[in-house]
Copies of this chain bind each other. A is one copy, B any other.
C-alpha cells in the first residue's frame, strides 16, 4: 500500500519504520519539510528528531501534510499531537482526505498543567468524534491510541493476550484497519470493535489510568487485556 503518515514524533516514526519494513511505500507529512529535516536534536522527552530519523531511514520520505494525504491510496495514519489533530488535517486539505480511511491514533492530552495530563476533550465528546465531524467524508477509525508505540507495532513484545480497540462509523474502514493491525502481529481475537466513533470516548478516557500505570510500572511495555469469563 501507499501510506501517508501525519506526524513526525515517536509514534509516526515507529509506524513508518514498521510499515516500510512490511514493504509498504511510506511518506511522513509535516508542517514544514525543510524545518523538520533540519531538526536533529532529540525532543524534551528523548525522542529522536525527525531529521536524523529520516537520514537513517532513507526508504521513508518527508513531505507536506497535503502531499502525505494525497500519496495515500487508502489509509492515512494520524499520529499528530492532539492539539494539532484538526489543524493538520485542514492543512492536508479535504480534497486529499475525502473517501480515504484515517487511522486516528491521536489523544486529547493536555500537559499544560504538567504531569499527569488531563484531557482537553472528554466525557460527552472525543477527539475522534471532533475529527469525524470536521471531515464527514473521511472514514475515521480510532485505534492504537491506548498503548505505547513499541506495543502498537509489535504486540508480540508482550506475552499472552492483550487488546486493541477500534471505534468508527464505517465497517469496511474498520476491516481495513484490522487488516493492518494483523500485519503488525495482532491476533484477530484481540482486536475489539467497540462500535461507532462515539466509543472513542471510552478509549481516550483510558489515557488517565495509562499515564498513572506508566509512572508506577516505569515502563511503557504494558497493555490492557479484556479478560472475559469463558
Interface residues of chain A, those whose CB is within 8 Å of chain B, are 118-119, 122-124, 157-162, 165, 192-195, 199, 201-203, 205-206, 208-213, 215-217, 219, 221-230
Contacts and interface: CB of A to CB of B under 8 A. Distances in A.
Contact of A205 (B160, B161, B205): B205
Contacts of A195: 212, 215-216
Given A123-B122, A202-B209, A209-B205, A222 B216 contact: no
Query: Chain copies in the assembly?
Result: 2
A87 to B, nearest CB: 23
Nearest to A196: B212
Contacts of A223: 226-227
Contacts of A216: 192-195
Contact of A206 (B160, B193, B209, B225): B209
Given A123-B122, A158-B229, A224-B227, A208 B205 contact: yes
A222 B229 CA distance: 6
Contacts of A226: 213, 217, 222-225
Given A124-B118, A229-B157, A230-B159, A199 B212 contact: yes
A193 B215 CA distance: 12
Given A119-B123, A206-B205, A209-B203, A158 B194 contact: no
A194 B206 CA distance: 14
A213 B227 CA distance: 11
Contacts of A225: 162, 224-227
Nearest to A228: B222
Contacts of A222: 226-229
A165 to B, nearest CB: 7
B165 A227 contact: no
A216 B158 CA distance: 25
Contacts of A118: 123-124
A201 B161 CA distance: 26
